[in-house]
Amino acid sequence: MRAALPWCVVLVVSVAACAAGASDDRDAGGPSPDIGRRDQGVVRDMQRDAPPIDMRVGDPCMGTLCVGFEYCDRGSCVPFDPCTPAGGCPETSDVCRNRYCVPGDRDIDGDGVTAATDCDETNAMIAPGLPDVCNTIDDDCSGTADDAAPAILCAPGTGACLSGVCGCPPGQFDLDSLPDNGCECAGVPGDGSGIGCDTPIDLGDLVDSGQMQMVSGNGLPAGRDTWYRFRGVDAADTSCDALHVRVQFITNPDSAFEFTVFRGTCATLPDGCTDSGYQDFSFSTDFTMGSGATMTGECPCASTPVDGSNICADQTSDYFVRVRRTAGGPALSCMSYALELSNGVYRTL
């Protein structure tokens, strides 16, 4: 029996050693292949959600810096899964940003706002709370571009935000520099009409039987000349001519406007008309002045020479009226003039 004791001791020790060896081998060798495969997806998710530089000992991503829409996977930078806003992302903690499924707590563009609330992770100048700018971009992530108050989008006097640019549509103007009403003035007349003597606003005929036209405008933009044309018709006379062409302001706020009348054609200045500003202008033959050879006017008049009368001549002519702002006048405004043009309405005293 004594010979058996050492064998039993050795056996016990051997069994203990085997047991200890088995335990040491398991701890040293890490998880079994099956466990590794089972946990591989979990480990990959942990790597994807880890900071760009993972300093964990033994991690293959240690020291790997992935920027933009990439994360580290087993030591390599790979892109996040693609997505569409309509399709969303399979991971509930992810959000679809710039066509990638991004962890909601990640701040890719470094603007201090996580992807969960930042509508654009490619631009640090786009995030909730940032000022909206007139640029067709949703800078503040409100869901609509350029929807801030007019005073925020455009500086005073620069008009309204139109298609990403501060300004006014053609024919409209911002004169009061108030941000809430933008381009408050429209040029009258509009559409570039009447901008030259060769392209006047045609008012037709004004016959000396007593006809009248009224026109208005505001001389915008600055430096604009507005041209009108009418034909002052001298109807046939037998005893007294009624021709009396008159152009006058009915409304001229602060004397901001003046006009000049050219009788004849655009090519030459008419007789007796100089290039100067008027507030009231008349050309008439409905009077008699002087006597004999110095008599002027055609009231009375005759078809043949008669003592005490002039010949009833046909004084029909075209008249061109140019209206513009008075040099050195008041500041630009929306105020308009009203101009009356007539023939045969008034009489010479």
In the prediction, which pLDDT does 33 show? 41
Mean pLDDT is highest, among 21-25, 40-44, 99-103, for 99-103
More confident residue, 182 or 253: 253
pLDDT surpassing 70 at residue 214? yes
Token representation of residue 95: 């959000």
| Residue 270: pLDDT band with limits 50, 70, 90 | low
Least confident of 39-43, 96-100, 105-109, 163-167: 39-43
In the prediction, which pLDDT does 250 show? 97
∠ Cα 316 320 325 (to 5°): 150
Q: What percent of the chain shows pLDDT beyond 70?
A: 80
In the prediction, which pLDDT does 308 show? 79
**Centroid of chain to Cα 245:** 45
pLDDT surpassing 90 at residue 6? no
More confident residue, 167 or 289: 167
In the prediction, which pLDDT does 26 show? 37
In the prediction, which pLDDT does 246 show? 97
> Do residues 95 and 115 touch, judged by C-beta distance below 8 A?
yes
Average pLDDT over residues 49-59: 57
In the prediction, which pLDDT does 292 show? 65
pLDDT surpassing 80 at residue 95? yes
Distances from the Cα of 22 to the Cα of 25, 31, 35, angstroms: 5, 14, 18
pLDDT tens column, 120-139: 999 999 999 999 999 999 99
In the prediction, which pLDDT does 304 show? 85
pLDDT surpassing 80 at residue 193? yes
CATH assignment, 201-343: 2.60.120
More confident residue, 192 or 22: 192
Strand 317-325, strand 310-311: pairing: unpaired
pLDDT surpassing 60 at residue 22? no
What's the burial of 300, exposed, middle or buried (CB within 10 Å: 0-12/13-18/19+)? middle
pLDDT surpassing 70 at residue 20? no
| Residue 309: pLDDT band with limits 50, 70, 90 | confident
pLDDT tens column, 318-346: 999 999 999 999 999 999 999 999 999 99
In the prediction, which pLDDT does 49 show? 54
Domain coordinates of the chain in residue numbers? 131-186, 201-343
In the prediction, which pLDDT does 32 show? 41
In the prediction, which pLDDT does 315 show? 95
In the prediction, which pLDDT does 294 show? 74
In the prediction, which pLDDT does 121 show? 96
Cis peptide bond N-terminal to 253, omega within 30: no
How many other C-beta atoms are found inside a 10 Å radius of the C-beta of residue 270?
A: 16
| Residue 266: pLDDT band with limits 50, 70, 90 | confident
In the prediction, which pLDDT does 165 show? 94
Q: What is the average pLDDT value for the chain, to the nearest integer?
A: 83
Per 3-state DSSP, what percentage of the chain is helix, strand, and coil (rounded to 5)?
15, 30, 55
